[in-house]
Amino acid sequence: MKNVNLAFIGGGNMASSLIGGLLADNFNPKHISVADRDEAQRENLAALYSISTSPDNQATALKANVVILAVKPQQLKTVVTEIAPIIQQNHALILSIAAGIRTVDISKWLGGNAAVVRAMPNTPALVQTGASALFGNAHVTSEQRDLAESILRAAGLALWVDDETQLDAVTALSGSGPAYFFRIMEAMELAGIELGLTGETAHLLTLQTALGAAKMALESLEPVATLRERVTSPGGTTEQGLRAMEQHDIDAVFSDVLKAARDRSRELARLLSES
């Protein structure tokens, strides 16, 4: 990626997180440019990262090898249509992180035959611990796949899926997943307070416990079920807590949660495509 020019269309939080990760990975800021309509946002990005910024989408995309679409899904068709003549000219890879918009629609708006990678990152990318899944259409070369993966890996884990429809499940699991963990942590904090802990103590213990459990799972070669079994002594406190979870059928709860999110992802993709 040493001499690759990256153009971000949209300079919001996700774009900023990717740029920060790339620069932390020693990517040259001279090869990064951002187009954004918001003058204050452009000034902030330029001051923070020493990159070039512009209000002009076409000019920003002109010299790019990779154009990262980091705008809201509702804005994507307008933006893609605007830069379509540029992409037909320079044949840049399009990397879209706009939720729900299919590669076939992006390629169609670009005039066809465009190399398009669609990615589903999540908000922990803001602290370089994101989880992203990627899908590339038939026009994406192996070199372009490597480029797209390198960009997303700057903000965390990046995995490929073979079927674009799997991105709906990714959206449900990792895209929306941080909110589920936040809700669990919120519930644990409240329960700790009910048991007599102060709010600050319950908060800190909850966060550190979540961090520790995730770190153990990441660093272990064992399945999470095995890790759970190892900390569950027969007749002990953990066993009793887990038994209460099972009485509420925790597996069914999360099955319903992810199915609901997946179905909404499919619905939004259809609506955005039709619009």
Residue ending a domain, choose from 117, 137, 162: 162
Chosen domain end from 133, 162, 191? 162
Same domain, 35 and 131: yes
Other Cβ atoms closer than 10 A to 147:
19
Whether residues 210 and 124 share a domain: the answer is: no
Domain count within the chain: 2
Tell me: do 24 and 157 sit in the same domain: yes
Same domain, 21 and 61: yes
pLDDT of residue 58: 97
**Range(s) of the domain holding residue 119:** 6-162
Same domain, 115 and 47: yes
The residue among 107, 35, 44, 102 whose CA lies nearest residue 71 is: 35
Examine the domain organization and report whether 143 and 109 are in the same domain.
yes
Q: At residue 130, what are phi and psi to the nearest 5 degrees?
A: -75, 170
Q: 169 in a domain, yes or no?
A: no
pTM confidence score: 0.88
HEC string for the chain: CCCCCEEEECCCHHHHHHHHHHHHCCCCHHHEEEECCCHHHHHHHHHHHCCEEECCHHHHHHCCCEEEECCCHHHHHHHHHHHHHHHHHHCCEEEECCCCCCHHHHHHHCCCCCCEEEEECCHHHHHCCEEEEEEECCCCCHHHHHHHHHHHHCCEEEEECCCCCHHHHHHHHHHCHHHHHHHHHHHHHHHHHHCCCCHHHHHHHHHHHHHHHHHHHHHCCCCHHHHHHHCCCCCCHHHHHHHHHHHCCHHHHHHHHHHHHHHHHHHHHHHHHHC
Same domain, 147 and 195: no
Residue 152 shares a structural domain with residue 190: no
Select from 129, 162, 195 the last residue of a domain. Answer: 162
> 């660093």: which residue's tokens?
219
Is 271 contained in some domain?
A: no
| Integer Cα distance of 251 and 247 in angstroms | 10
- Rounded Cα gap, residues 113 and 108, in angstroms: 8
Same domain, yes or no: 134 and 10: yes
Residues 29 and 112 in one domain: yes
Tokens 């996700």, located at residue: 14
State the CATH number of the domain containing residue 89: 3.40.50.720
Residues 75 and 127 in one domain: yes
209 located within any domain: yes
- Are residues 14 and 128 part of one domain? yes
Domain-located, residue 272: no
Q: Going residue by residue through the chain, which has 275 residues, state the pLDDT in tens, using 9 for 90 and above.
A: 778 999 999 999 999 999 999 998 899 999 999 999 999 999 999 999 999 999 999 999 998 999 999 999 889 999 999 999 999 999 999 999 998 899 999 999 999 999 999 999 999 998 889 999 999 999 999 999 999 999 999 999 999 999 999 999 999 999 999 999 999 999 999 999 999 999 999 999 999 999 999 999 999 999 999 999 999 999 999 999 999 999 999 999 999 999 999 999 989 888 877 76
Structure-token pair, residue 18: 């990717």
> Residue 165: which of 266, 252, 53 has the closest Cα?
266
Q: CATH number of the domain that 187 lies in?
A: 1.10.3730.10
Residue showing tokens 């990159």: 51
Residue 78 inside a domain? The answer is yes
Q: At what angle do helices 39-49 and 13-24 cross, to 10 degrees?
A: 10
